[in-house]
Amino acid sequence: MKEVYLQYVRQALEHGRATYAESVERWRNAYNPKQFFGMYMPPAVIPVQAHLEGFLYRVTGEVAYAEHARTCLLDIASCMSVVTEEQRRTHPEYEGGIPAMEAAFQSPHYSYGYLHIKDSGVLSDEEKRRIEEMIASSIRTTFYFPEWGAHNRSMLRVWGATLAARAIGVTEETTFWNKLCDQMAQDSFGGWSIEDAQAYMNLWLIGTMEYAKYRGREREYYALPQTKYYFDFIARLITPYGQVPDFGDSNFNATWYLWLPILEKGAAVYRDGHMKYAARKLWEFAMASSAEEVSLTAAVFLALAHQWADDEVEPVRPDRGSEEVLEDLVGKKIVFRSGWDEDASYLLLNYRDEGPYALVARDYLRTTIPVKAEKMHHGHSDENAIVLLVVARNVLLHDGGYRENVPNGKYRADLYHNRLVFRSGDAAPADIQCEAGMLPGQTAGVYDRLHDDGFYKPASTERLHFQRFERLDYSRTRLHDKARRLVWDRLIVFVKQGNAYIVVDWVKSDADQQLTTGNLWHTGKATQLAPGCFETHVPYIHRGVGCVNPYRNLDEWSLLIEFPQTVRATGWENIRRNYGDGVMVYETDTKPMRQGEMSVYVTALTPCKRAEAAGAAGRTVVRQLPAQADTLALAYTTGESTLQLAFKLDLGKGLLAEPIFGGSGPRYTWEDGRIDYGDIVTDADFAFAEAQSGSIRYGFVNGSALHAGGKPLFTAPVRSTFVFDETRWETSHHKWRAWEGEESV
């Protein structure tokens, strides 16, 4: 792969040379002193081209590259004349002079370029002095606002300043820089990122990696378990064909070129073939899906990938199926995966909240850069949302994008994600007109009813269950919504035969209130096949603001979205999402809810070949849903058999209010906890049974017994328990964490 990366860098360098003058002139003509929050930024092509030229000099030893790098390094000074006196007066940071470049995103590439050619002999002592002064002018401005905390902007500043100190050498000023960098990096070095954003977590990670290198702390850094976590995290999160899902502030397949050197470095340091395999797949998909000429931005990071890669590490294809990525405290993501072939099914559930750690750093951000639309930091209102669903490289559901304008990102709001959204009351304007896709008699203007200020509403989440079975995989995650005064559990069953997903959303109100709820699914095109049944597909996906050449999605598969037997309003509306035209499929209702009252929403997601959608409908049937909505029985039918599914939605159901043996006895018995779902009788939180070929296959989570088809299939042995208050022994039932088996009939 090193040679492949090198070839890309060569192509990008030639492209950069050919368009260099034009790019600089275009920047001059379009310069806006209000850009990037009013901070001066020279044309990005200058530091990037300097980096590429210097890198190829280092690799080849050809002096011509060093001479071109020299030209770029000196050119940047000529751009500073565009800064007006008014702009200078606006910024206290400019009292000591205009910075030659932006310190976080531009100065690292400029410093790399200089470091690569500093000893090449093409620079005079005077030119070195001028270049080093331009580097210093950029770093000085960062210390007017030295952001700290484990996030990208902090470590980008550290990356830039640490590299600058190395480029200039030891002086009183660079000694001060390094001291401040050590302080700013302490939250990140061996810490957890406070960001939940695909396009920013990698910047934070690379910044920390390079800080460790240039401060002589690499051995210590890569030995930390927190460090290896993030390399494993991305290697396990990647799709079978090589896409990193765009959760949080990000765009479709954005910043793949940042993850590539990270994976190469991880593979080299940890001798990990899975990381090497992920890097190769990421590269393959990026090249297959690229809609642009060779990218200079990508090339500078591929230069790092070339430096960091070790091709003696053999790629190892993973054999993992569905899994947590990586756990339920920091990562808070669950991947449902049918395999690692490119035609496999992949679904990503993100239930990440802000987290119970790094409070001071988060509050610091809240009080210095108030951005009300995001959870701190760069995260969306996407808790319990399905971020990506793909089958055979056909994207069937995807995330909503980042933002079209600063400061707040419109698409961060809950409304733009595949999840339930909640609104207090029913504030629908009376004059809303029907949108395209609405049917006569249905509620008009659902998008307008649900659209609010978009501000992030604090929530906390937890994983209740994740269990793999041979026939299916199952998860249950919970969101505590303080603003909306409710609890929302999302339960997902991945039926492996057919790659079908059954999503059950259970809501319990924590107050007496009028609540509007939308069960939302976002796509590109939709056709209603029957009430509550929609065939959908995604023709293309925009890659960002002003995208004129979007990603052309494969069109062999569509997604059947069904709300089985619902009596709620359903339909679809055309909305703007992810920088273009989108379709919002919904199921919605407004009703009064008493404290403790519950609601259930069932959605069946069935990927199918475009021509076969109608025939795939109706496989999921609601068999039992009591008025109190505390349990649910479903049946999923294929041509071969029927899968019976039992959900105990209210997990307190069947537990005794007081211990049965005095003050310290167990709180449940089989007799009090058993629930009759019709085909299944169990006290488990979740259970399934399927009769086929003379046997019944079954499984459950957190239960003591399961009966199906009138036959007891599993009973946990009773145990002895000591009743402390009465100093005597009794027998009691005991729940097993999970089990699956098969019994003949």
Q: How far is CA 447 from the centre of its chain?
A: 24
What integer best gives the mean pLDDT of the chain?
92
Kindly state whether residue 314 falls inside one of the protein's structural domains. no
- The rounded distance, in Å, linking the Cα atoms of 191 and 148 is 13
pLDDT at 376: 87
pLDDT at 293: 78
Same domain, 378 and 444: yes
**What tokens were used for 231?**
């390399």
pTM for this one?
A: 0.94
What is the spatial order of strands in the sheet that 420-424 belongs to?
A: 420-424, 513-523, 580-593, 569-577
Same domain, 156 and 191: yes
Same domain, 365 and 424: yes
DSSP-derived secondary structure for 503-568: EEEEEEESSSEEEEEEEEEEESEEEEEETTEEEEE--EE--STT-SS-EE---SEEEEEE-TT--S
Kindly state whether residue 211 falls inside one of the protein's structural domains. yes
pLDDT at 19: 95
Same domain, 467 and 502: yes
Same domain, 575 and 660: no
Same domain, 301 and 342: no
pLDDT at 440: 41
Q: Which residues contact 170 (CB under 8 A, 6 or more apart)?
A: none
**What tokens were used for 641?**
């058999």
Largest separation between any pair of C-alpha atoms in the chain: 91
Q: How far is CA 114 from the centre of its chain?
A: 36
Residue that is last in its domain, among 618, 642, 676: 618
CB-CB contact of 187 with 358 (8 Å):
yes
| Amino acid of residue 235 | A
Same domain, 545 and 678: no
Same domain, 293 and 360: no
pLDDT at 84: 83
**What Rg, from alpha-carbon coordinates, does the chain have?**
29
pLDDT at 434: 38
Same domain, 607 and 634: no
Same domain, 594 and 737: no
Kindly state whether residue 316 falls inside one of the protein's structural domains. no
pLDDT at 90: 83
pLDDT at 659: 57
**What tokens were used for 25?**
């002139």
pLDDT at 575: 96
pLDDT at 6: 97
Residue that is last in its domain, among 593, 618, 643: 618
What CATH number should be reported for the domain holding residue 249?
Answer: 1.50.10.100
Residue that is last in its domain, among 568, 585, 618: 618
Kindly state whether residue 317 falls inside one of the protein's structural domains. no
pLDDT at 432: 37
pLDDT at 37: 63
Same domain, 233 and 368: no
Kindly state whether residue 364 falls inside one of the protein's structural domains. yes
Residue segments in the chain with a per-residue pLDDT below the cut of 50:
427-443
**What tokens were used for 30?**
């379009």
Domain containing 628 equals: 619-745
pLDDT at 433: 38
CB-CB contact of 389 with 173 (8 Å):
no
Same domain, 208 and 329: no
Number of domains in the chain: 3
pLDDT at 315: 98
Kindly state whether residue 318 falls inside one of the protein's structural domains. no
CB-CB contact of 194 with 151 (8 Å):
yes
Kindly state whether residue 549 falls inside one of the protein's structural domains. yes
Kindly state whether residue 313 falls inside one of the protein's structural domains. no
* CA distances in angstroms from 537 to 182, 261, 349, 389, 558, listed in the order given: 50, 33, 20, 11, 5
What CATH number should be reported for the domain holding residue 582?
Answer: 2.70.98.70
